[in-house]
Amino acid sequence: MDPWDSSRHSLLGTFLYSSSSARAFAVEQLLRRIAGSADLADTVPSNGGKYWGSSSPDAPCSHKKKIELYSPMFYVACSAGGISSCGLTHTAVTPLDLVKCNMQIDPSKYKSISSGFVVLLKEHGFRGFFRGWVPTLLGYSAQGAFKFGFYEFFKKFYSDMAGPEYAAKYKTMIYLAGSASAELIADVALCPMEAVKVRVQTQSGFARGLSDGFPKFVKCEGYTGLYKGLVPLWGRQIPYTMMKFTCFETIVGMIYKHAISVPKEQCSKTTQVGVSFAGGYIAGILCAVVSHPADNLVSFLNNAQGGATIGEAVRKLGMWGLFTRGLPLRIMMIGALTGAQWGIYDAFKVSVGLPTTGGVAPAPTAVPGA
């Protein structure tokens, strides 16, 4: 008997004489075998290896359709990974963000990290630690989609503009330009939710959350008020993202070059995701220091009622306060946050059959006649 027919009869027996859960499993396996036999010929890459997945068409997962690198579906997948990466991580650290924002706005009341948590617990209870989580989730999910999706797009776009030889030679400049371009767009999506989040978190009694905070904010400030913090947000996020992506790519490349004895493509997926987390954590610490003055400005301007300016914010905070107020907590938060973001993002890419980010420099093209 043909092996396929034998396995089919085996699954049929499982369906007839077993529990409902086992029946469901048998049906699923049978459908997969049928789909696999019908589509196998169409799923073997014939375009010079532009599909990412198993290197051999005989591998166990070869019946799954692969996502072509730099295709529209590739960028959709990267955007979906960015949503998971940024939305979930920023929401998870809402309590830390809440204390940090209040330390920036009212340092006389929130004198330290520990006392800040005590004050919030006393005044708002345990639920108060997650005040503003909805605009955080929505705002940073939108930002993550544009940030990671457009970073992959602009990195490819600028590499193609430069050509293989110069893309390899000036890869750091490509990382910087690609990340800055992506963040410029991503912050337009983030800014309205960030404005509402800061107001909800730092003004007691302003609103319970997004549902009542958004219309109240618009009533007080108008729709243009949602974007009054856009310039300082760019000032915070663009340097942060340039540092985040460039340092990550560089650190991951150094780890694979100096700390791991085998090439990246020979490492297990678990090892690759672990490298992504480590590289992201180190990059996050550097990001926090570079972007912190602008973070203080964003918190001050979004909390201030009326037409506060950047100059007024600098005079109020002072240069020392601008660079240091809330910095230890932000280093703690951003280090873990960035490490988790890269870990989640690359784990998502692996789950849909894509390579992890960084670690392999593009090969230079030989000059004709050289």
DSSP string over 113-126: HHHHHHHHHHHH-G
Residue 160 pLDDT > 70: yes
Q: What is the pLDDT of residue 359?
A: 64
**How many CB atoms are closer than 10 A to CB 289?**
15
| Confidence category of residue 35, pLDDT binned at 50, 70, 90 | very low
Q: What is the pLDDT of residue 58?
A: 39
Which one-letter DSSP state was computed for residue 163? -
| Per-residue model confidence as pLDDT tens digits over 310-362 | 888 888 888 888 888 888 888 888 888 899 999 999 999 999 999 999 865 44
269, burial (CB in 10 Å: exposed 0-12, middle 13-18, buried 19+): middle
Q: Could you give the CA distance from residue 312 to residue 306 in angstroms, rounded to a whole number?
A: 12
Residue 262 pLDDT > 90: no
Q: Could you give the CA distance from residue 224 to residue 308 in angstroms, rounded to a whole number?
A: 14
Q: What is the pLDDT of residue 119?
A: 92
Of 24-33, 150-159, 232-241, 354-363, where does mean pLDDT reach its minimum?
24-33
Residues 6+ apart with CB under 8 A from 199: 206, 207, 213, 217, 302, 303
Q: What is the pLDDT of residue 305?
A: 67
| Per-residue model confidence as pLDDT tens digits over 185-215 | 999 999 999 999 999 998 888 998 999 999 9
| Per-residue model confidence as pLDDT tens digits over 50-76 | 444 443 333 444 445 789 999 999 999
The CATH classification number of 74-351 equals: 1.50.40.10
Residue 4 pLDDT > 70: no
Q: Could you give the CA distance from residue 200 to residue 152 in angstroms, rounded to a whole number?
A: 34
Q: Could you give the CA distance from residue 260 to residue 211 in angstroms, rounded to a whole number?
A: 49
Q: What is the pLDDT of residue 306?
A: 67
The larger pLDDT score, comparing residue 183 to residue 49, is at: 183
The larger pLDDT score, comparing residue 332 to residue 118, is at: 118
Q: Distances from the Cα of 139 to the Cαs of 32, 57, 83, 133, 271, in angstroms?
A: 38, 41, 10, 10, 31
| Confidence category of residue 49, pLDDT binned at 50, 70, 90 | very low
CB 235 within 8 A of CB 338: no
* Cα–Cα nearest to 37, from 73, 71, 3, 78: 3
Which one-letter DSSP state was computed for residue 362? P
Q: What is the pLDDT of residue 138?
A: 97
CB 244 within 8 A of CB 276: no
pTM of the model: 0.73
Q: Is 358 helix (H, G, I), strand (E, B) or coil?
A: coil
Residue 9 pLDDT > 70: no
The larger pLDDT score, comparing residue 302 to residue 367, is at: 302
Q: Could you give the CA distance from residue 341 to residue 348 in angstroms, rounded to a whole number?
A: 10
**How many CB atoms are closer than 10 A to CB 208?**
13
Average pLDDT, the chain: 82
Q: Is 244 left (phi over 0), alpha (psi -120 to 50) or beta?
A: alpha
Q: What is the pLDDT of residue 41?
A: 36
Q: What is the pLDDT of residue 324?
A: 86
Q: Could you give the CA distance from residue 360 to residue 212 in angstroms, rounded to a whole number?
A: 48
- pLDDT more than 90, % of the chain: 51
Q: What is the pLDDT of residue 29?
A: 53
Which helix (H) or strand (E) element contains residue 357? none
Residues 6+ apart with CB under 8 A from 110: 99, 102, 103, 116, 119
| Per-residue model confidence as pLDDT tens digits over 235-249 | 889 988 999 999 999
The rounded Cα 4 to chain-centroid distance in angstroms is 43
Q: Could you give the CA distance from residue 343 to residue 207 in angstroms, rounded to a whole number?
A: 34
| Confidence category of residue 103, pLDDT binned at 50, 70, 90 | confident
The larger pLDDT score, comparing residue 312 to residue 147, is at: 147
Q: What is the pLDDT of residue 64?
A: 54
* Cα–Cα nearest to 119, from 90, 93, 98, 94: 98
The larger pLDDT score, comparing residue 16 to residue 198, is at: 198
7, burial (CB in 10 Å: exposed 0-12, middle 13-18, buried 19+): middle
